[in-house]
Each structure stands twice: as C-alpha cells, then as structure tokens.
Structure 1
Amino acid sequence: MNHPEKSTAPQNEQAAIEKRREHLKAESQRLIDMANNEPHSALKCIHQLSVAGGATEATYIAIEQRIVADQDAAGAYHLVLLAQNTPDLPIDARQLIELVVNKGDNTQRLALLKNLPLPPVNHIKETILASNDGEAIGQMNAYLQINPEGYGSHHMLGSSQKDRIVPLSPGNSIE
C-alpha cells in the first residue's frame, strides 16, 4: 500500500521551513536597513523583530549600534531584557545596562534591578539615590529589603507575573 500523502509530508514541511527562513532573512534585512538609516528607530525595530519571531545576528548588531548611536536608554532596556532570555545574542549587554543606568529614568533602573538575574545593584542604587527621587528611593529600598542581593524577581518565590513584565517607559511608544 502506497500512501502518497505520507511521502509529500516531509517535502511540505521542508518547504514551509524554507519559506519561513526566507521570510526571516527578508525581515532581518528590512530591520537592518531601518536601524542603519532611521535615527531613534530601535524600539520600532525591537517590536518588529518580536513580531517576526527572530532575526539574524546582523539584525541584533544593527539595533545595538542604533541604540548606542542614539544613546537610547529605552531601546537599551528592552534589548537587555530580550538578551537575558536569549544568552547567545551578539550584543554587549553590559554596555546597554550601563546606558540604562546612566541615561535612563528611575522606572527603567528599578525594572533592571527587579528583572535582571544579576543586576549591578550598587551602581543602580547610587544612581537612584543621587536622583533624590523619594518615590523611586522608597521602591528601591523596599525591594532591596526583601532581596538585598538583587537577584531579580524570577529568583524570588513569592514573585508574581506582574513583577516580571515591565512595560515601556511613559512617553516611549512603539509604532
């Protein structure tokens, strides 16, 4: 007995994989072009990268270069969070974390403190204290009181999903 549908199934799977690969290559090139040519496009690129479901290494490098060129703390924050879930990305997460701590706002700094596995606790703490933002200092102190090592929310047993998902900073939208 011959089952023709069984013999075409692997071919159809392979064709679908090849079609997806070509789509990702095209999306990657489009995102690289956007990152290389549109100032302040990192958040848009990161969003579209997420929608596409992935990209080439060159795409991540182009987005990182756009973030650094623009000194874009919001873009740096989101790429760092993406990188913590994909450890082999070809980006310098330390440089991006430094950008967020030095140029970001206290909401982003507190989010790094809560969401990174091993955040630079002392540097974040010093920067928030230097801001004289009473509310942010209070939030930081409350968090560090229950988690003095700053091991990130995912290490805390009582952490809720709400603690892990941090939205874009106010005033930064993705289009």
Structure 2
Amino acid sequence: MNNETSEQLNEQREAAEQAAIEKRRERLKNESTRIIEIANNESYSALKCIHQLSVAGGATEATYVAIEQRIVVDQDPAGAYHLALLAQNTPDLPIDARQLIELVVNKGDNHQRLALLKNLPLPPVELIKEQILASDDGEAIGQMNAYLQINPEGYGSHHMLSSGQSDQIVPLSRGNSNN
C-alpha cells in the first residue's frame, strides 16, 4: 500500500508540474503576442518591447524577429544596441546580431559605439575606431584610446571579468553616471 501511495503522489506531483509548465507556456505565448503587436504597430518601440520581453522572462522566436524588424525599419541604434547585447548572451536567438551591431556603429552616437566596444565579447574594434575618429569628438576619442590602451584587442567586459578585472555593462542612458 505504501508503494501505491508513493506512486500516486509522484503522479500527482508530475501532473502538477506539467500543468505549471503549460500555464507558463500559455502566459509567455500571450505576452509574446502582445509584444509582437506593439513591435508591429508602434514606431520606435524596440526598447519598450525589449523591456517587456525581459519582464516576461522570455518569448517566442517570432517576438525576437518582430523586435529586430522594428529596429531595422526605424533604424534605431539604441534598440539595436540592447538587442545585440541580448543576442551575444543568448546565441540561439533567431536574429542577425551583426546587422544590429553595424546599425549601432554606423547610425549610433559615440556613447553607443563606446558602449559596444566595452560590452561585446568581440566588438568590431576597427569599425568603431574609424567612426569615433571621424567624428572629431575629442572626449569620445580620449575614452576610446584609454580603453584600448588597457585592452588593445578590444575584448569586451566578458573577457575582462573572466580575467579577474571588474567592469560593468554600460547603460546607454545618460542618467546620473558619467560613462
């Protein structure tokens, strides 16, 4: 009788776990549909969508694709920066991180380019250098040179963290920090 009770408890636990998984899957599907709707209908909504995706804890592949398409249509370097970082940390996302990185390098400002340089595992150092030097922005050139002096290969923060140095992901907002 003890064996039967134990088996029944295991079956009930497995059924409850499966029900919880199905409930979460349904919630993510609903959130994905909502986020896709925003991406498809609101210009410059990529950051809003990425935030909601983060709050939801994930989404369908179609959601990532819709956000990427919104970024490309809007030529939104801030959205491109954040989705590129997300793609670098989650390699199986169905998006073209190279395209997003190029958008930031070519259309973004020097603050965004410097953030890419510091935060991508393997940033396109030469392209970023060219754009920053071409801008004649003395402050950005100084920051870039200082960073590349301690990190000539341009390995991003992931490399620096794993080598014992501390760094943090640089936010794009100009808030109260002086990055």
User: Residue in 2 aligned with 1:159?
Assistant: 165
Higher RCO by CA contacts (8 Å cutoff, separation 6 or greater): 1
Confirm or deny that 1:144 pairs with 2:156. Answer: no
Are the structure 2 counterparts of residues 88 and 15 from structure 1 closer, same or farther at C-alpha, using a change threshold of 3 Å? Answer: same
Give the TM-score of the pair, scaled to structure 1: 0.92
- 1:112 corresponds to which residue? 116
Larger Rg computed on CA atoms: 2
Q: 1:31 aligns with which of 35, 43, 46?
A: 35
How far apart are 1:106 and its partner, in Å?
Answer: 1.1
| Counterpart secondary structure, 1:164 | coil
Alignment coverage as a number of residue pairs: 169
Greater CA deviation, 126-135 or 56-65?
Answer: 126-135
The answer to whether the 8 Å contact 1:107/1:169 transfers is: no
Partner of 2:79: 75
User: Once superposed, what is the RMSD of the aligned Cα atoms?
Assistant: 1.3
* TM-score (structure 2 length as normaliser): 0.90
Structure 1, unpaired ranges of 5+: none
Determine if contact 2:47/2:78 at 8 Å carries over to the other structure. Answer: yes
**Structure 2 gaps, min length 5:** none
Q: 1:19 aligns with which of 23, 26, 48?
A: 23
Q: Percent identity?
A: 80
| 8 A Cα contact 1:108 1:169, kept in partner | no
Distance 1:94 1:113 in 2: 14
